[in-house]
């Protein structure tokens, strides 16, 4: 599991004073970076090997500006060419949101998915939930 701590920004609030629902997919993406490094260690976009096939966010509670959040990220499923990253957002030790991102190992030149290699599979397996 990887854990990332972020401080919500004022620009991420909505008219009701809560964190806007559009902020969470951005936070989740930022917290997926350690997994991205398994495929592209230097994060060079010219050598990128992943695409997002699906994202889901389920809200469990309110999130507020100026109060630190923690995002825990793990792997919930590994397929042939894809895997699912499971993420939880906590504020004040309370679960506030859950996310799932289905990532696909992808060959951009051929425009098709490719199977995960043994090293990628091994790295992901170390973070299975």
- Is the domain spanning 2-125 CATH 3.90.440.10? The answer is no
Average of per-residue pLDDT across 37-48: 96
State the pTM of this model: 0.94
66: left (phi over 0), alpha (psi -120 to 50) or beta: left
Query: Domain locations in the chain?
Result: 2-125
Output the six-digit token pair for 25: 């997919």
Q: What is the mean pLDDT of the chain?
A: 96
pLDDT in tens, 57-105: 999 999 999 999 999 999 999 999 999 999 999 999 999 999 999 999 9
CB-based contacts of 3: which residues, under 8 Å, 6+ apart? 70, 71, 72, 73
Provide the pLDDT for residue 32: 98
Q: What percent of the chain has pLDDT over 70?
A: 100
In this model, does residue 129 exceed pLDDT 90?
no
One-character DSSP codes across 30-41: HHTHHHHHHH-T
């Amino acid at each position: 599991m990887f854990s990332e701590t972020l401080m919500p920004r004022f620009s991420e609030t909505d008219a009701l004073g809560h964190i806007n629902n559009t902020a969470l997919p951005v936070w989740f993406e930022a917290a997926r970076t350690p997994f991205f490094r398994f495929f592209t260690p230097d994060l060079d976009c010219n050598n990128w090997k992943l695409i997002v096939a699906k994202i889901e966010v389920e809200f469990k509670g309110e999130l507020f500006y100026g109060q630190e959040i923690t995002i825990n990220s793990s792997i919930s499923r590994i397929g042939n060419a894809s895997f699912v990253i499971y993420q939880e957002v906590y504020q004040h030790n309370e679960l506030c949101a859950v996310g799932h991102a289905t990532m696909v190992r992808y060959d951009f030149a051929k425009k098709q998915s490719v199977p995960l290699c043994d090293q990628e599979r091994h790295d992901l397996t170390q973070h299975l939930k």
